Amino acid sequence: MYDEEQHSGALEHGPLAGFTVGVTAARRADELGALLQRRGAAVLHAPALRIVPLADDGELLAATKRIIAQVPDVVVATTAIGFRGWIEAADGWGLGEQLLGRLRDAELLARGPKVKGAIRAAGLTEEWSPSSESLAEVLDRLLEEGVDGRRIAVQLHGEPLPGFVESLRAGGAEVVPVPVYRWMPPEDITPLDRLLDATVARAVDALTFTSAPAAASLLSRAEDRGRLPELVAALSHDVLPACVGPVTALPLQAQGVDTFQPERFRLGPLVQLLCRELPARARSLPIAGHRVEIRGHAVLVDGDLKPVPPAGMSLLRALSRRPGWVVPRADLLKALPGAGRDEHAVETAMARLRTALGAPKLIQTVVKRGYRLALDPAADAKYADA
């Protein structure tokens, strides 16, 4: 546990100081990145997808014409940006007023308050919206009312809404999907490959997902490169997979990855989840009269943030696995990526690590044997009683 001084030092730098968070989002990535950086995180952004508007595509146009030709009994609006995009596209085709007229005649269901706002901005009124903002509750209501023989239009936003459309069709409904956006692979795959490599190398502490297609895209790219088992292993043990909600998590869970998601499916709660989970995972040790917390790319020494080079972090993690015990140079050499067989690389990286920590006595040299963290076991009782 932290003492009060250590805890206040961490808060001074932000709860995510010293951690690196990967962002896979294409939409609202800047907003999510800003929220993370404001709390001290380093952000590695690589869009796993690009969003292609369908304003010039026949798929959305065909769905819109079907709705104008025959008004549906129910229209389910799932996202504010998607609903607005649909209305704007219809206006561009000269079909805006006709579409709005059909929507006024239908039972209009909104998934949540943002969608309600978009509906009302278009001069429409929703029939109902769940307090939970959950599509599952929308589905339950429809099935309870009975959908056999009913025509139901569902506004999508690039995601397949697993089980939603299938359940309606199984209940006897005719479903008209309205695909407002289409997900495509990024035009430049290089940033995504860098993020994938960083995740496999444990150079990020958490990976965030805000849509199921983004998660599926990263998994697909890993499979194409022969790195899927490595990615799954990283997300299962060392890199925290944070999803904005349960639908987003489905592709990862299908690979056996246990995911984390907030109770409210929003960016703010997603960031708050990381602010709780990542510091809780950090190793905190009493060493040579100091309190040391080992984070992703930095160390808190008595609450002061000390950035540490990657090689130094590799050594420190190897030492922290057996605090107080001597770790041979040969074992530390194995922990250094790309060091080969030259034990001098350990000495060089160790010197830089000590300089970065600013407290040379934290790590002791044991002549002809190796190095050890100067663990202070007696301090445990002091911190436990604090």
DSSP secondary structure of 178-198 = EE-EEEE--S--HHHHHHHHH
What secondary structure letter does DSSP report for 375?
B
Whether the CB-CB separation of 73 and 142 falls below 8 Å is answered with no
Q: What is the pLDDT of residues 115-128, one digit of tens each?
A: 999 999 999 999 99
- pLDDT at residue 2 above 60? no
Q: Which region, left, alpha or beta, applies to residue 161 given φ > 0 means left and ψ of -120 to 50 means alpha?
A: left
Hey, what CATH topology would domain 4-49+186-281 get? Rossmann fold (3.40.50)
User: Which pLDDT tens digit goes with each residue over 273-325?
Assistant: 999 999 988 888 898 888 888 898 888 898 888 988 888 888 898 888 888 89
Interatomic CA distance for residues 293 and 367, integer angstroms: 26
pLDDT at 332 over 80: yes
pLDDT at 156: 83
| 283-385 shares the fold of 4-49+186-281 | no
Query: Nearest to residue 162, comparing CAs of 136, 129, 131?
Result: 136
67 strand-pairing partners: none
Highest mean pLDDT: which range of 56-70, 219-233, 320-334, 364-378: 219-233
**CA–CA dist 317, 325 (Å, integer):** 13
Give the dihedral of Cα atoms 133, 135, 138, 144; nearest 10 deg: -130
Q: State the pLDDT at residue 55.
A: 57
CA distance to 16, 159, 179, 230, per residue, from 298 (Å): 11, 37, 44, 24
Hey, where are the domains in the chain? 4-49+186-281, 52-183, 283-385
Alpha carbons within 13 A on the beta-carbon side of 267? 13
pLDDT band at residue 377 using 50, 70 and 90 as cut-offs: low
Report the topology of domain 52-183.
Rossmann fold (3.40.50)
Q: Give me the mean pLDDT over the 329-345 stretch.
A: 78
Range 283-385 has CATH code 1.10.10.10: yes
Q: 0.85 exceeded by the pTM? A: no
Q: How confident is the model at residue 384 (pLDDT cuts 50, 70, 90)?
A: very low
pLDDT at 145: 93
Does residue 207 register a pLDDT over 80? yes
Contact predicate 241/207, CB 8 Å? yes
